Each structure stands twice: as structure tokens, then as C-alpha cells.
Amino acid sequence: MPDKLFDSSILATPQDSLDFINNLLQASTEYSIIGKGMDGTVVLWNEGAPRLYGYEPDEVVGKANADILHTPEDVAIGKPEEIREAALRDGSCMNYGSN
């Protein structure tokens, strides 16, 4: 992995870092970037997520469980829990939809 992905001098303060990340996430409109808490609660919902899922940020962030992103069939067979367990075990889990 590269040591340096961007010029860190642009992030002089913690607020600069937060603003940078927020701007990056909001500019990413072609892909949904969704963050989940340890309990499955949606904690991050970028500009691309409403395009794919139809929910606005104020409907899901801090309110909805990420199970809403899966089909009822996948929820019934435990797919969301399987994804959470893989993320905890492996440190990340890319979910590209139901398989």
C-alpha cells in the first residue's frame, strides 16, 4: 500500500481532516458508500447511496439498520449478519449486493 495517498499539509487541523473526508464522500456520487456501526446501524450515507437505495440520509443515518439494504430473502437466511461477521473477522467486507 502506498505510504502517501495525498498531501497531508492540506489537513492542518482535525476539522480540516473532517471537511476533506466529508467533501470526498459527498463528491462520490456514482457509488454508494455506506458505513455501519457494530450493531448494523447506518452511520454514514454518501451522495451515491440515495441513487441506489432511494433513502435520503435523514431517513437512515443513526436510525435504520443496514438490513434495509438487503432483500427480505437475504435477511431471512442471515446474509446481513454473515457480512457483519466477515467484516469483524477480516477487518472489512465489500458487499456488492445479494449473491
pLDDT digits (tens, 9 = 90+) for 6-27: 777 777 888 988 898 888 888 8
The residue ranking higher by pLDDT, 55 or 88, is 55
Q: How many of the other CB atoms lie within 10 Å of CB of 60?
A: 22
SS3 (DSSP) at 36: strand
Query: Concatenated DSSP letters for 54-83?
Result: ---HHHHTTT-BGGGGS-HHHHHTTHHHHH
Q: Considering the domain boundaries, does residue 34 fall inside one?
A: yes
Inter-residue contact 21 to 13 (CB < 8 Å): no
Q: Considering the domain boundaries, does residue 85 fall inside one?
A: yes
In this predicted model, what pLDDT tens digit does every residue of 35-69 receive, in sequence order?
888 888 999 999 999 999 999 999 999 999 989 98
Q: Considering the domain boundaries, does residue 33 fall inside one?
A: yes
Domain that holds residue 40: 26-90
**CATH of residue 81:** 3.30.450.20
Inter-residue contact 67 to 79 (CB < 8 Å): no
Structural domain tally of the chain?
Answer: 1
> Given a cut of 50, is residue 99 above it in pLDDT?
no
Q: Considering the domain boundaries, does residue 21 fall inside one?
A: no
The residue ranking higher by pLDDT, 99 or 88, is 88
Q: Considering the domain boundaries, does residue 12 fall inside one?
A: no
